[in-house]
A and B are shown apart, each in its own frame.
Chain A
């Protein structure tokens, strides 16, 4: 398994501003992911972040809105840019381990945009 921490745990932000969410893992992992869970919805993959390469974004998500950094094998950041109330969600960091089959999640960052 992996122990994953995220900062901040929650935030309330004003429309038009940006927030950077940090994800720290207690071991080196190749693949890290960022998910979003909107109220009452399932988990949606935003992008896959691999160290040393550009993040791969899912359909409906773009780099200008959700820039991602992955400077090393234990850390990643996700920025939510130019926020609107529709961005109010829980943002989750996730890593792949267990031989590439099991996937673990961080505690999440609860974002509210007013």
Chain B
């Protein structure tokens, strides 16, 4: 049962344009969401997170939007840069009752072309 889904395995965007990466989840108990970027041969790098009490969180070029009713979140990168080319993972956890493990999506490979 894939509780966190990233339905687009890949995305190609031109430099300077907006990249939108999508993530859907099925577990209504999830209340904290994180995005990671992963280059080949490196560990995932934490990018940005959002709590379910918010619907938007922004950090520089990265903005995460959360739509709880649709169980959907998205990561916007504006403007996109060639160095953003990587695999992006969405992850989710539920925090009530103590620590719960992170559940990861399958990843979306972003390619930003000059």
Residues on A close to B: CB < 8 A? 1, 4, 6, 31, 33, 41-45, 48, 58, 92, 96, 100-108, 110
Contacts and interface: CB of A to CB of B under 8 A. Distances in A.
A7 to B, nearest CB: 13
B48 to A, nearest CB: 10
A58 B49 CA distance: 24
Give the one of A44, A45, A96, A101 with max B CB within 10 A: A101
Q: Which applies to chain A's interface (DSSP): helix, strand, loop or mixed?
A: strand
B43 A107 contact: yes
Given A42-B106, A44-B104, 9 more contacts: A31-B99, A33-B101, A42-B104, A43-B104, A96-B99, A101-B51, A102-B49, A105-B36, A105-B44
Interface residues of B, number: 21
B32 A103 contact: no
A54 B101 CA distance: 17
A42 B89 contact: yes
B49 to A, nearest CB: 6
A95 to B, nearest CB: 11
Given A41-B106, A48-B101, A96-B99, A101 B43 contact: no
Nearest to B36: A105
B32 to A, nearest CB: 6
